[in-house]
Amino acid sequence: MEIYILLGFVLILSIYLGLELISKVPSTLHTPLMSGANAISGIALVGALTLTQDTFLQTVIAFLAITFASINVFGGYLVTNRMLSMFKKK
């Protein structure tokens, strides 16, 4: 149970940090911020990589988790980059 207290601590601090970091973002950047944050939520890929694959069902589940998380990661970062490269000041 102790481990959950520790993890809960990390969770709360990270949420607080996130709220502080992003409290003032110009509306110009709302879409790229959302899309960039969305790419970060692809971190689920790291979790998907560690799943046990003892049974056939587990292997299928792990494969699907890895595939969908990878779409999220690669697609998310690429499209955010594409979008941001258009934001220019003349």
Whether residue 73 contacts residue 37, with contact meaning beta carbons closer than 8 Å, is answered with no
Residue 47 and residue 38: Cα distance in Å, rounded?
16
Report how many residues bind other proteins under the rule CB under 8 A: 78
Q: Is 2 in the site for other proteins (CB under 8 A)?
A: no
Q: Is 56 in the site for other proteins (CB under 8 A)?
A: no
Q: Is 19 in the site for other proteins (CB under 8 A)?
A: yes
The sign of the dihedral angle between the CA atoms of 85, 29, 33, 13 is positive
Whether residue 73 contacts residue 48, with contact meaning beta carbons closer than 8 Å, is answered with no
CB of 48 to other proteins, least distance (A): 6
Q: Is 10 in the site for other proteins (CB under 8 A)?
A: yes
Q: Is 3 in the site for other proteins (CB under 8 A)?
A: yes
